[in-house]
């Protein structure tokens, strides 16, 4: 502290810090005294400890932030890992499913409400895949069985014909028999190709509206010989003009009539019923009197190569079991569906079509 004339009035004996240190905070002041003079002084504050404390606090804050971020990150990872564990379990179960374990289904030890709809949908998909796979395996086995019989006949008859010298008449008989077997094999292959096209979603080519009763009459005339052989008559009830694929419709109806003739009682009457169910749907079915079909067989009646009762198959005129499958395929190609009923000694098999 100095006087007005600049002489020193007071100074600390020994400063405890460096006055010119940048961390020091000097402050000049003036104190007026009597006589018109004033005392001029400088107050210097030591801020070094504050700076050190601030640095420590900064380091502590940075360390806390880093530690907190690490803790939050680890906690988030652990939480996400726990949340994803059910998905990882489902992924492992899905990976374990193959053609040999199609019956395996997804399950969780502790049900998760958010995942349950996905699990149910996946299990439903696996049910459909398993059912389709089983049907495909059965279909392949049935195809092999159906083709094995005519092939065995061809091989056997050819070997017998070549076992010794035969006359022209005997060789012609053998060739005619082989030709029948070849026609049977060709029919099976053609039907399989048609069903394969239908399964790919091919739709019917509709023409101008035609009378369904007239088409039924034409198909009935085609079956005139087997009808007369079993002394059967055909009655057509109802009619509707619908835009159809005529060749496909006649093929489906021919299969229905052939099936009805095969199992109808001799001297009975076949009924072909045509009913318009709505402005967009027409149903047709063929009814015959004969052996009833067991209720448990009805849902499978339109499966490929399915026979409700092998004892009902005619050995003289064997059929390969694709007729009603083709009927179902033609119905789907017309956006309809097949149907079958059997009760009271009467069997009704038919299908519906959409008129659009």
Quick one: three-class SS letters along the chain? CECCCCCECCCCCCCCCCCCCCCEEEEEEEEECCCCCEEEEEEEEECHHHHHHHHHHHHHHHHHHHHHHHHHHHHHHHHHHHHHHHHHHHHHHHHHCCHHHCCCCCCCCCCCCCCHHHHHHHHHHHHHHHHHHHHHHHHHHHHHHHHHHHHHHHHHHHHHHHCCCCCHHHHHHHHHHHHHHHHHHHHHHHHHHHHHHHHCCCCCCCCCEEEHHHHHHHHHHHCHHHHHHCCCEEEEECCCEEECCHHHHHHHHHHHHHHHHHHCCCCCEEEEEEEEEECCEEEEEEEEECCCCCHHHHHHCCCCCCCCCHHHCCCCCCCCCCHHHHHHHHHHHCCCCEEEEEECCEEEEEEEEECC
Q: Are 320 and 187 in contact (CB under 8 A)?
A: yes
pLDDT in single tens digits along all 356 residues of the chain: 566 566 766 666 655 555 556 556 667 777 776 666 677 777 766 677 777 888 899 999 999 999 999 999 998 888 888 877 888 888 888 888 887 788 888 888 877 788 888 888 888 888 888 887 877 777 777 777 778 878 888 898 888 888 888 888 888 888 888 888 888 888 888 888 888 888 778 888 888 999 999 999 999 999 999 999 999 999 999 999 999 999 999 999 999 999 899 889 999 999 999 999 888 899 999 999 988 888 888 888 888 777 665 444 443 445 567 888 889 999 999 999 999 999 888 899 999 998 86
| Residue 61 CA: distances (Å) to CA of 47, 48, 207 | 21, 20, 84
Residue 109 makes CB contacts below 8 A (sequence gap 6+) with: none
- Tell me whether strands 269-278 and 24-32 are parallel, antiparallel or unpaired: unpaired
Question: What confidence score (pLDDT) does residue 1 get?
Answer: 58
Question: Is the four-CA dihedral 171, 175, 176, 180 of positive or negative sign?
Answer: positive
Locate 2 and state its tokens.
Answer: 């100095």
Locate 268 and state its tokens.
Answer: 């009975």
Query: CB count, 10 Å around CB of 134?
Result: 11
Domains of the chain: residue spans and CATH = 137-199 (1.10.287.130), 209-354 (3.30.565.10)
Q: Are 274 and 284 in contact (CB under 8 A)?
A: yes
Question: What confidence score (pLDDT) does residue 71 get?
Answer: 92
Q: What are phi and psi of 26, to 5 degrees?
A: -80, 150
User: What does the alpha-carbon distance between residue 65 and residue 288 come to, in Å, rounded to a whole number?
Assistant: 87
User: Whole-structure pTM over 0.85, yes or no?
Assistant: no
Question: What confidence score (pLDDT) does residue 307 get?
Answer: 66
Query: CB count, 10 Å around CB of 334?
Result: 24
């Amino acid at each position: 502290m100095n006087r007005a004339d600049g002489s020193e009035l007071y100074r600390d004996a020994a400063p405890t810090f460096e006055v010119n240190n940048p961390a020091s905070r000097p402050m000049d002041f003036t104190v007026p005294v009597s006589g018109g003079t004033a005392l001029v002084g400088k107050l210097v504050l030591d801020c070094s400890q504050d700076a050190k404390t601030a640095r420590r606090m900064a380091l502590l804050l940075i360390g806390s932030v880093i530690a907190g971020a690490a803790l939050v990150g680890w906690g988030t990872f652990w939480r996400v890992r726990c949340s994803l564990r059910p998905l990882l379990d489902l992924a492992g179960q899905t990976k374990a499913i193959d053609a040999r374990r199609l019956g395996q289904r997804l399950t969780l030890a502790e049900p998760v409400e958010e995942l349950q709809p996905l699990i149910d949908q996946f299990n439903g998909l696996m049910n459909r895949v398993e059912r389709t796979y089983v049907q495909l395996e059965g279909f392949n086995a049935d195809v092999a069985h159906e083709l094995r019989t005519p092939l065995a006949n061809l091989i056997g008859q050819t070997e017998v014909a070549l076992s010794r010298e035969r006359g022209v008449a005997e060789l012609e008989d053998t060739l005619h028999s082989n030709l029948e077997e070849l026609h049977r094999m060709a029919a099976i292959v053609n039907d399989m190709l048609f069903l394969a096209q239908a399964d790919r979603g091919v739709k019917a080519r509709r023409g101008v509206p035609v009378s369904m009763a007239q088409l039924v009459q034409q198909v009935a005339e085609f079956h005139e010989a087997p009808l007369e052989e079993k002394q059967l008559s055909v009655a057509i009830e109802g009619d509707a003009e619908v835009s159809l694929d005529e060749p496909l419709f006649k093929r489906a109806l021919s299969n229905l009539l052939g099936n009805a003739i095969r199992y109808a009682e001799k001297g009975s009457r076949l009924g072909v019923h045509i009913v318009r169910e709505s402005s967009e749907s027409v149903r047709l079915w063929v009814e015959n009197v004969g052996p009833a079909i067991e209720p448990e067989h009805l849902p499978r009646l339109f499966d490929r190569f399915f026979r409700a009762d092998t004892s009902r198959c005619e050995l003289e005129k064997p059929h390969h079991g694709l007729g009603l499958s083709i009927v179902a395929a033609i119905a789907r190609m017309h956006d309809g569906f097949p149907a079958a009923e059997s009760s009271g000694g009467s069997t009704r098999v038919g299908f519906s079509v959409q008129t659009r």
